[in-house]
Structure 1
Amino acid sequence: MSLFPLSASPRHRPPAGLLAGPPQVVAVLRLLPGLALTACAMAVAQWAGRALPGVSPAVVAVVLGVALGSLTTPPAVFGAGLRFASRRLLRLAIVVLGLQVALPEVLALGWRPLALVAVSTVCTFALTRWIGPRMGVSPRRSLLIATGVSVCGAAAVAAMHEVADGDDDDVAGAVGVVVLYGSAALVVLPVVARLAGLSPYGLGLWAGASVHEVAQVAAIGATAGGGVLACAVMVKLARVALLAPLVAFTSLTLRRPACDRSRDRSGVRRPPLVPLFVLGFLAAVAVRSLGVVPVGVVEIVPQVTALSLAAALFALGTGVDLRTLARGGRSLALGGLATAVIGAISLIGVLAIG
């Protein structure tokens, strides 16, 4: 189900005189209702994120969007603003996310933790994409689940959605999977860590290398104490740094055949195969790594990212049919398998590192 078109119904069209004026002014006026609705949802999501430890505003936002889109049909006047939020604000969120990643700090972890992150992420991503269609999950949804579980939860799902050409139900299904199993990790990981005899450092390393959402990783680190938080978050940011190459690689593999066929028929120059927002993410990482970003900006980057991502996911969620999502038992099974894979590989690596 797509977001609601402005021309869906004559009774939802604003009076002609209301939108009279220069085209730029008309375009802005069309955005205002949808953006106002999105702002209200963001406020609720921010409040819930502060009240519920380990739950990110992005997760709350997509739940609100799905609930709204499933229980009612918002008037078409909201459509332009929702489309703006689901596209432009999504790309902004991914670019700003790059300002959280400082490569010198990530590299300071040492080659062993970084190798663990790379192996667990790539293996989980590849295995989930391969096994998903064999379990009856569509290739596009399998791709989104693979990205969300292996990299960084809802943000990764939203970024990959930009190049995967899936529908909004796929996004909601993948986000639901990473929320479910990431939330379960808040309880399971500390218990298993104690049984396995992991040190606080080992728990932080395991959480950062295997748990889906940044907020969930931070929650485990904050409650475990013993310096776990800094270790867990830094390892998690090392996984976030893999988002751009994974999205760029996937974009290349998905679009190249279509572009080749299009160029053969028309001679038109093929479009860029690496999305601009991925290049923006890499540029943001470079700027942060050079140390030229003011401290005050660095401190507010997580909040800006959370707000932008929450807005985008709320808008995407409004286009979801919950009845279709409820039939996603195979998606839940695939998400559980992917979570088990990344958890097992990461734990073996942590035990090997000692």
Structure 2
Amino acid sequence: MDGAADSRLAAHTALLAAFVAVAGPVPVAGPQSRSPRWLAGILVAGVAAAAAFGLHSLFPAVPLLTAAVGLGMVVGQIPASQRMLDTTLKPGIALSARRLLRLGIVLLGLKLSLVDIAGLGWPTIVVIVLIVGITFAATLGLGKLLRLPGTQPILIAAGFSICGASAIGAMSAVTRSKDEDQATPVALVTLCGTLAIFILPVLRIPLGMSPEDFGLWVGLSVHDVGQVVATAQIAGPAALAAAVVVKLTRVLTLAPMVAIVGLVERGRDRRADRRALALDADAVPVVRARRPPIVPLFIAGFLLAVLIRTFVPLPDAVLSAADSLQTTLLAMALFALGSNIRFAALARTGWRALIVGLASWAFIAGLSLAAVYLLR
């Protein structure tokens, strides 16, 4: 068995162990059944992740995670599968979309080294932070201006400004978002990230960009890590190396952004408590019991993973296995999120979200291009 196969085997073994640890005790399907209720949905998500890997192998230009979301979106439109997704498969699909996504975010930290980030230099790091903050604020403001429902404005802002579906999943934990609120933002970052794979390389030559400049532009503006790799590799190894380091530095802003939103949510809950008590002195402030942590546990795990990668010399085999495991977890999670998307509902209510997504994508691409010329 070659090294890649060993890594995949180790990853799947670790996936099983991690899943058992995270899933914990769950109810069974019925008094006569020993199969957990989540098992069927998890198996379907696992098969979908394997199918996405197959599609990526056949068509390398299609990022694996984009293929996983796309498969979920296709399955979610079939009436027969919709019924299964809403009944038999629902517990496992929900577990994949939340717990497995969070585990994948933790392991994403092992891709980040503070040494590599410091190597970018302070001007580039400051520009990255400014672009994340400006894009987040602009997208959030536009989403609220167009009156997007639920927590869609903040989830779209997180997805487009930070790191795509991973950021959407992380932000949903502190905003207590419903699954349907996550579905549209995931669809939008998938759509715009896919467009970037085809459009940005076409613009590189007319703009007169060197491979390093192109990599910087891609890392600053494209959403998911897989989409960044697929876009930057077209311009060669130098562009890919620059894009990945810049992109992972954007990923590192996920923790402080989630913490800031967590503080805002807690402030909103406290104000709600005060209003309730002002109306009725005997009222019980039940909102307090539902307050999310300022920094969710999996975000703390993500930061710990970054520190481990920075200060602990990990063998290549361990990093390769962790990368395979992280990709598998995120592929399963994104299939699950994609399966919650219903095109019929999007056609009725999603045009405003589409405007926000496309505007945010164009804005971050233009802002990042200006930053590239500024940093030359």
TM-score by length of structure 2 reads: 0.81
CA separation of 1:30 and 1:226: change in aligned 2, threshold 3 A? closer
Moved more, 49-58 or 130-139: 49-58
Indicate if the aligned counterparts of 1:256 and 1:273 stay in contact, CA closer than 8 A: no
Quote the residue 2:329 is aligned against.
Answer: 308
Q: How many angstroms does 1:271 deviate by?
A: 5.7
Equivalent position amino acid for 1:45 in 2: A
Amino acid at match of 1:127: A
Counterpart contact for 1:59–1:154, Cα < 8 Å: no
Amino acid paired to 1:143:
I
Deviations 1:17-61 (A, max 9, x none): 224xxxxxxxx6323222212211111122123333343333322
Matched letter for residue 330 of structure 1:
R
Mean alpha-carbon deviation: is it higher for 163-172 or for 99-108? Answer: 163-172
Percent of aligned pairs with the same amino acid: 37
Q: 2:308 corresponds to which letter in structure 1?
A: V
Match of 1:39 in 2: 46
Task: Provide, for residues 155-174 of structure 1, a one-character-per-residue CA deviation record: whole Å limited to 9, x for no partner.
Answer: 22222222233333332211
2:280 alignment partner in structure 1: none
The residue number in structure 1 matching 2:184 is 173
Aligned with 1:318 (options 326, 335, 339): 339
Asked if 1:290 is matched to 2:311, the reply is yes
What 5-or-longer segments of structure 1 have no aligned partner?
A: 1-12, 20-27
Counterpart position of 2:166? 155
Residue 73 of structure 1: CA displacement?
A: 0.6
**Alignment partner of 1:58 is 2:58:** no
Cα deviation, residue 288, structure 1: 0.9
Given the alignment of the two structures, is residue 337 of structure 1 paired with residue 366 of structure 2, yes or no? no
| Separation (CA, whole Å) in 1 of partners of 2:368 and 2:66 | 24
Q: Match for 2:37 among 27, 30, 33?
A: 30
The separation in 2 between residues aligned to 1:80 and 1:235, in whole angstroms, is 37
| Shift in alpha-carbon separation, 1:30–1:240, aligned structure 2, 3 A | same
- Summarize the Cα distance change of 1:168–1:49 in structure 2 as closer, same or farther, 3 Å threshold: farther
In structure 1, what residue type is equivalent to 2:40?
A: P
Moved more, 163-172 or 34-43: 163-172
Distance (Å, rounded) in 1 between the aligned partners of 2:194 and 2:316 = 31
1:236 and 2:251 correspond: no
Alpha-carbon separation, structure 1, partners of 2:335 and 2:127: 33
C-alpha contact (below 8 Å) 2:131/2:364 kept by paired residues: yes
CA distance, structure 1, for counterparts of residue 124 and residue 310 of structure 2: 19
Other-structure match for 1:185 = 196
Instruction: Answer whether contact 1:150 1:342 (CA < 8 A) is retained.
Output: yes
Q: Deviations over 1:304-344 (max 9, x none)?
A: 22211121222233334331123311111111111111111
TM-aligned CA deviation for residue 133 of structure 1: 1.6
Q: Which moved more, 1:322-331 or 1:76-85?
A: 76-85
Q: Which amino acid is the alignment partner of residue 343 of structure 1?
A: A
Contact persistence 2:101–2:169 (CA under 8 A): yes
Quote the offset at 1:127 in angstroms.
Answer: 0.7
The code of the aligned residue for 1:155 comes to S
Q: Work out whether 1:255 is the aligned partner of 2:266.
A: yes
Q: Quote how far apart the aligned CAs of 1:99 are.
A: 0.9
The letter for the 1-side match of 2:127 is L
Q: Note closer, same or farther for the CA distance 1:255–1:322 as it changes in structure 2 (3 Å cut).
A: farther
Residue 3 (structure 2) pairs with residue 17 (structure 1): no
Residues 203-248 of structure 1: CA deviation (Å, up to 9, x unaligned): 1111111111212221232211261111111111111111111122
Structure 2 residue aligned with 1:73: 83
233-242 or 306-315: bigger deviation? 306-315
| Of 342-351 and 299-308, the range deviating more from structure 2 | 299-308
Would the alpha carbon gap of residues 170 and 306 (structure 1) be closer, same or farther in structure 2, given more than 3 Å must change? same
Task: Tell me how far apart the structure 1 counterparts of residues 273 and 75 of structure 2 sit (CA, whole Å).
Answer: 39
Counterpart for residue 347 of structure 1:
369
Q: Is the 8 A contact 2:105 2:302 kept in 1?
A: yes
CA RMSD of superposed structures (Å): 2.4
Q: Which runs of 4+ in 1 moved over 4 A?
A: 259-264, 266-271
Q: Pick from 223, 227, 247: which aligns with 1:216?
A: 227
SS of equivalent to 1:74 = helix
Matched, 1:85 2:96: yes
Deviation at 1:89, TM superposition (A): 0.9
1:7 alignment counterpart = none
8 A Cα contact 2:187 2:338, kept in partner: no
Instruction: Please list the CA deviations of residues 53-98 of structure 1 after superposition, one character each: whole Å capped at 9, or x if unmatched.
Output: 3433333223333333332310733233223222221110111111
> The residue matched to 1:212 in structure 2 has which SS?
coil
Alpha-carbon deviation of 1:250? 1.2
